Amino acid sequence: MSISKSIPIISVIMPLFNRGHIVGEAIESVLGQTFTDWELVIVNDGSTDNSLEVAQDYARKDMRIRVLDQPNGGSVAARNNGIAVAVGEYIFPLDDDDKISPEALSELFAAAKSGLGDVVYSETVRFGAEQGLLELPLPTPENIPYRNCVVCSALYRKSDWEKYGGYDVNMKDGYEDWEFWLNFVAQGKTFYRIPKPLFYYRIASKSRNVTIQKSSKRAKARLKKYLRKKHSMLYELPKVKLTWSSRLYLLFVKLFNSRYTYRKIRQQLSKC
């Protein structure tokens, strides 16, 4: 039975590539939401299996689901193309192999409308090859330039996506979510994590993100170098006059500890 279509508040964006065997789980999790003012934009990214047919079958049954079909261009391009045609005030990316709890969109939207954050997400549970709560620190302007602390499935306004020019296609090999969140940090925007698991992140040994983690140090270094160049203001240290003892201490920290610790200590010294 088809459900009548109205202007949605939230646009769920789902790039789809060769997940015909499991994408139904992701779609069903959206259909099961207690919050009903949504649309689901599925972007088939040149799948060679039955992914497109599965998505189209769901779209025929529910008018809130739209399916775009494009030649293979990667998940970053697919996500951007889906958001470009989305009509919701808010955007919520959801990968084709992940899931959300029935109350996810309702609680995310309530937190966003209450002004708790410009980017709202939740605690995350891993499933599949690994299980358990995904342990991530809360994002701060000090730590997120050095480590991505926010999952890809987070609620934000489409106007912010437009302001930042979408997800950077130069990050097609990974870390595109991290780069996107740095735009919010640079603008002084806030992040809020709902202290309960609403998002379920599938861990698959052959997923693209796992592949990135196992890739060469050179590839990861190239991506991080691009991040630092594009968002250089987030990595600049304050220019302060330090005593010789402070300089020696910082040199020791820089040699034997992380860059984050070095940056943090220098910021503290600048306040003295």
Q: What domains can you pick out in the chain, each with its CATH number? A: 10-232 (3.90.550.10), 237-270 (no CATH)
Instruction: Provide the phi-psi class of 40: left if phi over 0, else alpha when psi is between -120 and 50, else beta.
Output: beta
User: Over 70: is that where the pLDDT of 192 sits?
Assistant: yes
**Rounded distance between C-alpha atoms, residue 260 and residue 245, angstroms:** 20
Structure tokens that stand for 34 in this block: 């207690």
Starting at the edge strand found earlier in the chain, the sheet holding 99-100 runs 99-100, 191-203, 119-128, 132-133
pLDDT tens per residue across span 47-104: 999 999 999 999 999 999 999 999 999 999 999 999 999 999 999 999 999 999 999 9
Spatial contact of 120 and 111, defined as CB atoms under 8 Å apart: yes
Structure tokens that stand for 205 in this block: 């040994």
Q: What is the pLDDT of residue 240?
A: 52
Q: Sorting pLDDT into bands at 50, 70 and 90, what band is 157?
A: very high
User: Over 90: is that where the pLDDT of 259 sits?
Assistant: no
Q: What percent of the chain has pLDDT over 70?
A: 81
Question: Which residue(s) pair with 44 in the sheet?
Answer: 16, 69
For residues 224 and 268, the model is more confident at 224
Q: What is the pLDDT of residue 252?
A: 63
User: Over 80: is that where the pLDDT of 109 sits?
Assistant: yes
Average pLDDT of span 233-238? 77
Measure the CA angle with vertex 99, ends 96 and 103; round to 5°: 140
Q: How far is CA 183 from the centre of its chain?
A: 12
Is residue 165 classed exposed, middle or buried when 0-12, 13-18 and 19+ CB atoms within 10 A define those classes?
exposed
Determine phi and psi for 230, rounding to 5 degrees.
-70, -35
Q: Sorting pLDDT into bands at 50, 70 and 90, what band is 220?
A: confident
**Rounded distance between C-alpha atoms, residue 212 and residue 120, angstroms:** 25
Structure tokens that stand for 90 in this block: 């808010």
Q: Sorting pLDDT into bands at 50, 70 and 90, what band is 221?
A: confident
**Rounded distance between C-alpha atoms, residue 236 and residue 232, angstroms:** 6
**Rounded distance between C-alpha atoms, residue 167 and residue 270, angstroms:** 34
Angle between helix axes 244-256 and 259-270 (nearest 10 degrees) is: 160
Structure tokens that stand for 72 in this block: 């293979």
User: Over 50: is that where the pLDDT of 4 sits?
Assistant: no
Residues 6 or more apart whose Cβ sits within 8 Å of residue 245:
none
For residues 30 and 218, the model is more confident at 30
Q: Sorting pLDDT into bands at 50, 70 and 90, what band is 27?
A: very high
Q: Sorting pLDDT into bands at 50, 70 and 90, what band is 218?
A: confident
Q: What is the pTM of this model?
A: 0.83
Spatial contact of 91 and 166, defined as CB atoms under 8 Å apart: no
Q: What is the pLDDT of residue 219?
A: 82
